[in-house]
Amino acid sequence: MLETKIGVIGGSGLYDIDGLQNSKWQAVDSPWGAPSDELLTGTLDGVEIVFLPRHGRGHVHSPGSVPYRANIDALKRLGVTDVISVSACGSFQEHMAPGHFVIVDQFIDRTTARENSFFGTGCVAHVSVAHPTCPRLSQACQDAAEAQEITVHRGGTYLAMEGPQFSSLAESRMYREVWGCDVIGMTNMPEARLAREAELCYASVAMITDYDSWHPDHGEVDVTAIIKTLMGNSAQAKGMIARLPALLGLERYDCPHGCDKSLEFAIMTAPEMRSPALLAKLDAVAGRVL
């Protein structure tokens, strides 16, 4: 049996965590390049926490330049068992208002220019992302948000766009009216795919900052209003995160949904045909099965 080790990937406005005991920023070397920043490690209520600012402190990475593979590899390399992704998002639903949180359970990936897998020529693998988030971990996030008195919606489809520009009105209407999406952001893909390949339980918490551009009373994204809402959301997110250790506990049992066994039958390349160079890079991500 493992001990729980919670990884938190903080999005726009969330660059650290308050209240960590024995906290320190730690550099992690990854064969997939440098992560977005050093990782903040420490404990909350006796549970180990690893925090990674997705855009780096000072917000130096755009959504397209975030080193997603290095980030997930670094978390896995430090022994993280559960990853909570927190990100700022726009809303396509009237009832999912700015200031609310959404526990995402599905994605539509419209990103086009990002490395989206640890595997490839020399070691081919196919994992299922039919259900890309972990229900157990998502429930813990919902419970923590409710305890923090955040208005939280369970379940929603996240449209991942390439960015860095916001949507056109026509795109916003299509994502809402034709595709039935609930929120829109720029960073949860390929992050969720990579977490699944790394056999990490992954939950996505979307912090609503605006109504994108579809809303008749909000004709375009107002960056000033977004920043104001973002600051309030980030403070609430820190409170939510602080409640997670008590909910998840010290002891980490096998995931009942199989997130931590996603590579069990996924690798297709015959052992004698696998690339030694690629296998060396996969030591943390896929070491359990390789």
**What amino acid positions are annotated as catalytic residues?**
210, 212
Return the structure tokens found at 44.
């909350």
Farthest-apart Cα atoms in the chain, separation: 61
Give the list of residues 6+ apart from residue 154 with CB closer than 8 angstroms, or none. Answer: 103, 105, 138, 142
Nearest CA-CA partner of 154 in 145, 163, 162 = 145
Q: Is the dihedral of CA 250, 31, 201, 240 positive or negative?
A: positive
Nearest CA-CA partner of 176 in 103, 114, 279, 93 = 93
Cβ-based neighbour number of residue 18 at 10 Å: 11
Does residue 33 come out as left (phi exceeding 0), alpha (psi in the -120 to 50 range) or beta?
left
Cα–Cα dist 191/27, whole Å: 20
Give the list of residues 6+ apart from residue 157 with CB closer than 8 angstroms, or none. Answer: 104, 105, 106, 107, 108, 179, 180, 181, 182, 183
Cβ-based neighbour number of residue 121 at 10 Å: 8
